[in-house]
């Protein structure tokens, strides 16, 4: 008999197993239901991958549905960006793309049904009065003076609301539940409001719109969703969810299950804050690589595999917790380190001249694309008398443990030759503008035949064949020492150094990069060709992440 390792299941899987075993449901049907009022962020990725993953695990179905019940904030731009993000993450809704607005007729009929059952009434109280009547966590609410309206009057008024007879806020439809309930959500919640707004999907057909808490359970029930998985802030709304599907007498009511949100430290996810950053031109759009929207992470160079790894590491639980951004960076490093070629790019160039190398000669050297993954093959790189090296790889007065270039020391030029520093040139201000070396022609490939060792290896780019590119170095958009938000006025504590743009020299192979192509720049980090600003033969590179990590599993 084979020994099978026990698979640890999360609490949602345990609930589903129990429901299937007891015959509550005979299949699993999940959905992802975003409101199209902004771009999705990294927290949404957890929900998408969880819902799709469960459907796949149980050979069930996964629906994509837009909860577009609030036309004041929704745009077609957001619908398109969300669909693109979900496709990219690999969640396949097949032919099941739905909109809550597709069900507005059924929702209206559902509201009429509640009125006829004596379970809903038209209320004339203002929003402020409704809040006042609602009570507090320690005091029960008071019943609306309009709660006792007859069924006939409620039906007439609700139809008049639909026909546009009333102004925004003049009347609402409320569920008739229990104003003394300990759960404030059950104190006769508003389920329909008047809103004379054009809708991105239904145009001007409606001037009344259902509230989310009323619409969502109806959508789930209509689509045959079995497990309606949402985040913890909806836990207090579950009794209302259950009340709606029970009072509307759906034969196979869905079950709402809540899990903890994914919180990342020191990042901006609030839509109103991102909207402000976009409108003020601080970022260049919802997909600016300094943000953590899914579109921004993709543009920066994160892969769907790295995000899946991150979500898996975070796990699924009932307890809210925060995760350090360093964990996300760890995941992209782990994903890319064996997949992508390691090429040479010099971000802060300092010219180096090999004085004893023949003038005008260019030779082709062979270098592995990734020393840890031979399957990525080799490439040819030009080498000549004049090179660029990183400015930090030369010092006039180095500290004791400095292992790179200074006068009199020998280092290895990666995949090339050993060179000895003989001097340097400065400008009138004393700044080093050029380094001089001699090379040992017997050390081609980087090793000496006499077995001598050098302490340092530096990367380089041959000057005459180098490509000149724009490189964008990103830091956190917020000042981590101060925290995301200013405690006095709630504004963002922005980091003025969140974007540094520099010109770099790169080896010729990198000039062929196209949008989303990613590479390791030796010793400098992982970089990705920007999808928006790269042009053929003129890539722009975003730094995805540095090579060093403070995160440990």
pLDDT(287) > 60 = yes
Considering the domain architecture, whether residues 452 and 467 belong to the same structural domain is answered as yes
Considering the domain architecture, whether residues 515 and 453 belong to the same structural domain is answered as yes
Q: What is the pLDDT of residue 266?
A: 86
pLDDT(5) > 50 = no
**For residues 229-247, average pLDDT:** 96
Closest CA to 414 of 365, 357, 348: 365
Considering the domain architecture, whether residues 531 and 435 belong to the same structural domain is answered as yes
Residue at 119 is within a domain: yes
User: Are the beta carbons of 173 and 111 closer than 8 angstroms?
Assistant: yes
Q: Which long-range contacts (CB under 8 A, 24 or more apart) does 442-447 make?
A: 443/412, 443/417, 443/418, 444/365, 444/416, 444/417, 445/365, 445/415, 445/416, 446/412, 446/413, 446/414, 446/415, 446/416, 446/417, 446/418
pLDDT level of residue 241 (50, 70, 90 thresholds): very high
Considering the domain architecture, whether residues 252 and 268 belong to the same structural domain is answered as no
Q: Taking the chain, what is the end-to-end CA distance rounded to the nearest angstrom?
A: 34
- The CB density around residue 410, as the number of other CB atoms within 10 Å, is 20
Domain boundary among 259, 277, 307: 259
Domain boundary among 302, 320, 336: 336
Considering the domain architecture, whether residues 364 and 483 belong to the same structural domain is answered as yes
**Domain region containing 296:** 264-336
Work out how many domains the chain is built from and give that number: 3
pLDDT(480) > 60 = yes
Residue at 364 is within a domain: yes
Q: Which residues contact 84 (CB under 8 A, 6 or more apart)?
A: 295
Considering the domain architecture, whether residues 252 and 289 belong to the same structural domain is answered as no
Cα separation of 356 and 415, whole Å?
Answer: 19
- 292-304 in b/e burial notation, b at 16+ Cβ within 10 A? bbbbbbbbbbbbb
Q: What are the phi and psi torsion angles at 421 (to 5°)?
A: -75, 130
pTM summary value: 0.90
Considering the domain architecture, whether residues 122 and 205 belong to the same structural domain is answered as yes
Considering the domain architecture, whether residues 532 and 401 belong to the same structural domain is answered as yes
User: Are the beta carbons of 317 and 11 closer than 8 angstroms?
Assistant: yes
pLDDT(422) > 60 = yes
Considering the domain architecture, whether residues 67 and 140 belong to the same structural domain is answered as yes
Per-residue CA distances from 551 to 314, 326, 487, 527, 544 (Å): 14, 6, 28, 20, 16
pLDDT level of residue 551 (50, 70, 90 thresholds): low
Considering the domain architecture, whether residues 302 and 351 belong to the same structural domain is answered as no
Residue at 375 is within a domain: yes
Residue-wise DSSP of 340-355: S-EE-EESSEEEEEET
Considering the domain architecture, whether residues 309 and 397 belong to the same structural domain is answered as no
Q: What is the pLDDT of residue 73?
A: 82
Cα separation of 381 and 357, whole Å?
Answer: 17
Four-point Cα dihedral 521, 527, 532, 537, nearest 10: 20
* Beta-strand pair 227-231/172-175: unpaired
Per-residue CA distances from 90 to 356, 481, 486 (Å): 55, 36, 37
The CATH number that applies at residue 500 is 2.40.240.10
Residue at 4 is within a domain: no
Residue at 380 is within a domain: yes
The CATH number that applies at residue 328 is 1.10.1160.10
508: three-class secondary structure by DSSP = helix
The CATH number that applies at residue 115 is 3.40.50.620
Residue at 540 is within a domain: yes
Residue at 194 is within a domain: yes
Q: Which residues contact 53 (CB under 8 A, 6 or more apart)?
A: none
Considering the domain architecture, whether residues 58 and 116 belong to the same structural domain is answered as yes
**What single-letter DSSP state applies at residue 529?**
E
Tokens, residue 486: 């200013």
Task: Summarize pLDDT for 42-72 with one digit per residue, the tens.
Answer: 999 999 999 999 999 999 999 999 999 988 8
Residue at 1 is within a domain: no
Domain boundary among 310, 336, 362: 336
pLDDT(208) > 80 = yes
Task: Summarize pLDDT for 132-184 with one digit per residue, the tens.
Answer: 999 999 999 999 999 999 999 999 999 999 999 999 999 999 999 999 999 99
329: three-class secondary structure by DSSP = helix
Q: What is the pLDDT of residue 4?
A: 42
Q: What is the pLDDT of residue 553?
A: 56
Q: Which long-range contacts (CB under 8 A, 24 or more apart) does 94-99 make?
A: 94/61, 94/62, 96/61, 96/62, 96/63, 96/64, 96/223, 97/63, 97/64, 97/65, 98/63, 98/64, 98/65, 98/66, 98/219, 98/223, 99/65, 99/66, 99/68, 99/201
Q: What is the pLDDT of residue 1?
A: 39
Q: What is the pLDDT of residue 2?
A: 44
- H/E stretch holding 327 reads helix 325-336
Cα separation of 210 and 114, whole Å?
Answer: 13
């Amino acid at each position: 008999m084979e020994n099978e390792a026990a698979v640890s299941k999360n609490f949602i899987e345990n609930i589903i197993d129990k429901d299937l075993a007891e015959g509550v449901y005979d299949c699993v049907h999940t959905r992802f239901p975003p409101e199209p009022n902004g771009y999705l962020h990294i927290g949404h990725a957890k929900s998408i991958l969880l819902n799709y993953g469960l459907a796949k695990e149980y050979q069930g179905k996964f629906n994509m549905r837009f909860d577009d019940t609030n036309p004041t904030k929704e745009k077609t731009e957001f619908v398109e960006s969300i669909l693109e993000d979900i496709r990219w993450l690999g969640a396949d809704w097949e032919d099941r793309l739905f909109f809550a607005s597709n069900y507005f007729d059924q929702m209206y009929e559902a509201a009429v049904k509640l009125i006829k059952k004596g379970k809903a009434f038209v209320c004339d109280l203002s929003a402020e009065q409704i809040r006042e009547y609602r009570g507090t966590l320690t005091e029960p609410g008071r019943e609306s003076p309009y709660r006792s309206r007859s069924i006939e009057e409620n039906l007439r008024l609700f139809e008049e609301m639909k026909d546009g007879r009333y102004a925004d806020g003049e009347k609402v439809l409320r569920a008739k539940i229990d104003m003394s309930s300990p759960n404030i959500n059950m104190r006769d919640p508003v389920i329909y409001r008047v809103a004379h707004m054009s809708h991105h999907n239904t145009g001007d057909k409606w001037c009344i719109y259902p509230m989310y808490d009323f619409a969502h359970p109806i959508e789930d029930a209509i689509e045959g969703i079995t497990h309606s998985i949402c985040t913890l802030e909806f836990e207090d709304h579950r009794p209302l969810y259950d009340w709606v599907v029970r009072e509307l007498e759906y034969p196979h009511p869905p079950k709402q299950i809540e899990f903890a949100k994914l919180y990342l430290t020191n990042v901006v996810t609030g839509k109103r804050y991102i909207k402000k950053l976009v409108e003020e031109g601080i970022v260049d759009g919802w997909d600016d690589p300094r943000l953590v929207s899914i579109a921004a992470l993709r543009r920066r160079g994160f892969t769907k595999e790295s995000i899946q790894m991150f979500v898996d590491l975070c796990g699924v639980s009932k307890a809210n917790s925060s995760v350090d951004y360093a964990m996300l960076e760890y995941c992209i490093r782990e994903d890319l380190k064996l997949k992508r070629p390691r090429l040479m790019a010099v971000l802060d160039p300092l010219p180096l001249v090999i004085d004893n190398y023949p003038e005008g000669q260019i030779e082709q050297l062979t270098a592995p694309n990734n020393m840890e993954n031979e399957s990525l093959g080799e490439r040819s790189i030009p080498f000549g008398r004049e090179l660029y090296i990183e400015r930090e790889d030369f010092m006039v007065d180095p500290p004791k443990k400095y292992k790179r270039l200074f006068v009199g020391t020998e280092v290895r030029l990666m995949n090339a030759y050993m060179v000895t520093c003989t001097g340097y040139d400065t400008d009138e201000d004393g700044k080093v503008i050029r380094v001089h070396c001699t090379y040992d022609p017997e050390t081609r490939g980087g090793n000496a035949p006499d077995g001598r060792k050098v302490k340092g290896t530096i990367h380089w780019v041959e000057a005459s064949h180098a490509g000149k590119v724009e490189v964008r170095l990103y830091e956190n958009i917020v000042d981590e020492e101060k925290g995301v938000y200013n405690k006095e006025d709630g504004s963002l504590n922005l980091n003025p150094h969140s974007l540094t743009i520099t010109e770099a020299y790169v080896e010729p192979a990198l000039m062929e990069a196209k949008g989303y192509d990613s590479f390791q720049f030796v010793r400098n980090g992982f970089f990705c060709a920007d999808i928006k600003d790269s042009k053929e033969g003129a890539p722009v590179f975003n730094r995805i992440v540095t090579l060093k990590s403070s995160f440990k599993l």
